[in-house]
Structure 1
Amino acid sequence: MPDEHDAPHDTLDTVDNALALLTCVLVARRARVNPEGVTWQQYDVLELLRLRGPMKPSELGESLGVSRQTTSKALRVLKDQNLVAQAALGTDRREQTTSLTEAGHAFLDRAARSRRENAKIVEAALDPDEQAAFAALCDKVSTAFQEAGPPTA
């Protein structure tokens, strides 16, 4: 009796392989411009601070859907790398606000240049109709991932 590994590639296999390859290529390209070793979660913290400005750690965690401990760990690493700074919020020294440092802005600028370079590569590889279809499909698939929620083990 043949098992699933003997079956010819079906559509799911084709999509799985394409997604795996694209993920590998994009992660490898990102690693080249990320000498700090910023994780995806830490990157999300930086982007959120860029988009919204200074935030309290509790607001960051809530916005990212992660625990207080996870947020604290990410902020500790980002502070150690001088990518974020924290300051007392008002007279209550226990409450802090987190903001990007110059180094944090520089990191995000470098990441944005890398994304733009990736977009130029895609643009050169695809004709205008394919570019529009690619962008629409990326949006559609991104929405599906968000709606599906976190992956299961």
Structure 2
Amino acid sequence: MQYSVGVEYALHCLVYLIDNPEDSPIGIKDLSSFQGVSETYLSKIFSKLSKAGIVSSVPGVKGGFKLSKSPEEISFWDVIEAVEGSKPIFQCKNIKDNGYLYREKGCTPGTSCTINLVMLSAEEKMHEYLREKTLSWLNKELENVIPKQIREDTRKYFSKSTI
């Protein structure tokens, strides 16, 4: 299982929106320029985030995006699901029912597929973990791992671009 790089771009960009004043949304042009990614690509990601209710779009010359919820209410899983969709990682094709005994002997399957049950359980544990990690948590973690000057320069970049 692999999530697209769109999830990473989304999480990074959402962190930039946390400290931005409510009345100063950040535009896609500024976000894409800062990240070094095309506006078109980032627009597609933000369209999905908007549809999921994670961000809201502010129209106009000084428009852009802002968080629709508090950072405490937005989990990693919310972002992953918005960008990637809710398709399960493991997709059981119920191949056991095509096995020799079922096919040739007329046996009927009596139990759920154990492999599918294990995979679904593992996926749910991962979802639970990702639901526990919020944008607020991420922002606090970044304060500990990114040098203070870089965090300040990032905030200045976006406050300058919204003036």
TM-score, normalised to structure 2, is 0.40
More strand by share: 1
Larger radius of gyration: 2
More helix by share: 1
TM-score, normalised to structure 1, is 0.42
